[in-house]
């Protein structure tokens, strides 16, 4: 199992390093998008916990969000994903 | 008649050094680079200007090219023609060689697109002195609750912040989330075990920073430790981060020790490190 990274700069030149595990490709990537949170109607107003129906509804929305995430099958696909999000690729590295 | 002003050290002149090797000096560049850059070496001798360029590898590996000069230089400047290059990304040494030997260490320190090393007088700064560069590290992969981040070769890290989002599957079981700082032999040198282990079908957020901060502040749910995703108190939290420098080969691991559904739970991590080049 090898941990690798892609060195980047964002649109303003800030350095970034996107890590991935080549033994776990293909994998899904969030692309920096937050997963869906709970809606007030899904929570018990007294405890803040999910109601039974709320949990099912939130899980369904989360599963749909996850299914819509891009599947990254290779480092090249990940580089393309990062470029499409506005990152400049500088180099790639392997954890020592 | 008064002596002419001397920019270089007065004894470093071809007139004074009466041996053959003094007429064929070289400049040795030692460079570590974390990014793609073109290093520019320029200067003056008594009979003209000289200039060289060099493109180092981006693995922070020491490279030491040498450049021949027609005579001992009066002034030398070492910079980069690449932009942006920030402090902490490109570290260099500059040494004068005569007869194949290092005879004078002229300067060493960071080069950036707004700062060059010059000799004379020469500047000498270690790579881990002063502020480093800020690097945002991210692992965005879903279906994985075991993430390891290793300090790259010839680097030093100091954590500035760590942010984690965990969403567990419907697979039953108590996830035991811990983070470990480990040395290069994978011995744990520091760690943190989360005291409210998440179960199945839940989402948690955790933040670590020098000073803990509130994850949520909405009306009556005004406390440290609210869960942004579920609104549930005391399930997510913010913690202080130990101020450890980490050397090359050390790593930080955030993972579910119990490995309940390690290939299906989603753990997303973003953290800021201050990073230096360490020789």
Q: Check whether the bond before B84 is cis (ω within 30° of 0).
A: yes
3-state secondary structure chain B: CCCCCCCCCCCCCCCCCCCHHHHCCEEEEEEEECCCCCEEEEEEECCEEEEEEECCCCCCCCECCEEECCCCCCEEEEEECCCCCCCCCEEEEEEEEECCEEEEEEEEEECECCECEEECCCCECCCCCCCCEEEEEEECECCECEEEEECCCCEEEEEEEEEEEEECCCCCCCCCEEEEEECCCCCEEEEEECCCCCCCCCEEEEEEECCCCCCCEECCEECCCECCCCCCECCCEEEECCCCEECCCCEEEEEECCCCCCCCCEEEEEEEEEEEECC
Which pLDDT score, from 0 to 100, does residue B107 have? 96
Tens of pLDDT along B59-96?
999 999 999 998 889 899 999 999 999 999 999 999 99
The answer on pLDDT for B232 being more than 60 is no
ipTM of this complex: 0.91
- Split chain A (96 residues) into runs of 10 and give each run's mean pLDDT: 92 95 92 82 77 90 94 94 95 91
Structure confidence at residue B233 as a pLDDT band (50, 70, 90) = very low
Higher pLDDT, residue B20 or B43: B43
Domain housing A36:
3-94
Average pLDDT, chain B: 86
Give the percent of chain B with pLDDT over 90: 63
Q: What is the pLDDT of residue B10?
A: 64
Q: Do A91 and B136 touch (CB under 8 A)?
A: no
Question: Is the CB of B167 inside 8 Å of chain A's CB atoms?
Answer: yes
Q: Which CATH class is domain B23-119?
A: mainly beta
Q: What total number of domains does chain A contain?
A: 1
pTM for the model: 0.87
CB atoms near residue B159 (< 10 Å): 22
Q: Tell me: the pLDDT tens digits for B180-212?
A: 999 999 999 988 887 677 788 888 878 888 877
User: From the list A17, A66, A93, which residue is nearest B59 (CB)?
Assistant: A93
Residues of A with Cβ-Cβ distance to B148 under 8 angstroms: 3, 95
Provide residues of A within 8 Å CB-CB of chain B.
3, 5, 7, 9, 13-21, 24, 27-32, 34-35, 37-38, 40, 43, 47-50, 55, 58-59, 62, 66, 69, 72, 90-91, 93, 95-96
């Amino acid at each position: 199992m090898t941990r690798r990274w892609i060195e980047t700069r964002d649109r303003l030149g800030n350095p970034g390093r996107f890590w991935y595990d080549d033994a776990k490709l293909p994998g899904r990537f969030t692309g920096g998008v937050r997963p869906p949170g709970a809606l007030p109607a899904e929570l018990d107003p007294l405890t803040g916990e999910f109601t039974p129906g709320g949990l099912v509804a939130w899980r369904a929305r989360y599963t749909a969000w996850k299914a819509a995430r891009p599947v990254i099958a290779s480092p090249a696909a990940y580089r393309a994903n990062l470029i499409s999000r506005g990152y400049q690729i500088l180099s790639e590295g392997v954890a020592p | 008649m008064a002596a002419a002003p001397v920019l270089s050290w007065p004894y470093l002149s071809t007139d004074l050094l009466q041996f053959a090797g003094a007429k064929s000096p070289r400049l040795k560049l030692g460079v570590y680079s974390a990014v793609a850059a073109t290093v520019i070496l320029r200067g003056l001798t008594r009979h003209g200007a000289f200039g060289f360029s060099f493109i180092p590898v981006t693995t922070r590996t020491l490279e030491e090219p040498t450049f021949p000069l027609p005579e001992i230089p009066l002034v030398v400047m070492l910079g980069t023609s690449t932009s942006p290059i920030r402090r902490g990304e490109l570290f260099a040494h500059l040494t004068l060689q005569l007869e194949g030997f290092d005879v004078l260490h002229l300067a060493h320190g960071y080069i950036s697109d707004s700062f060059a090393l010059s000799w004379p007088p020469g500047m000498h700064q270690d790579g881990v002195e002063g502020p480093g560069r800020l690097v945002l590290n991210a692992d965005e992969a879903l279906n994985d609750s075991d993430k390891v981040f290793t300090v790259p070769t010839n680097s030093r890290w100091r954590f500035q912040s760590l942010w984690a989002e965990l969403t567990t599957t419907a697979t039953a079981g108590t996830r035991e989330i811990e983070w470990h700082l480990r040395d290069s032999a994978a011995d744990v040198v520091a760690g943190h075990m989360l005291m409210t282990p998440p179960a199945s079908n839940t989402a948690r957020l955790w933040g670590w920073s020098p000073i803990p901060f509130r994850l949520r502040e909405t009306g009556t749910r005004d406390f440290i430790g609210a869960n942004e995703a579920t609104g549930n108190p005391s399930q997510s939290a913010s913690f202080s981060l130990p101020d450890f420098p980490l050397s090359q080969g050390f790593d930080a691991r955030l993972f579910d020790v119990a490995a309940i559904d390690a290939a299906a739970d989603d753990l997303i991590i973003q953290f800021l490190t201050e990073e230096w080049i360490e020789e």
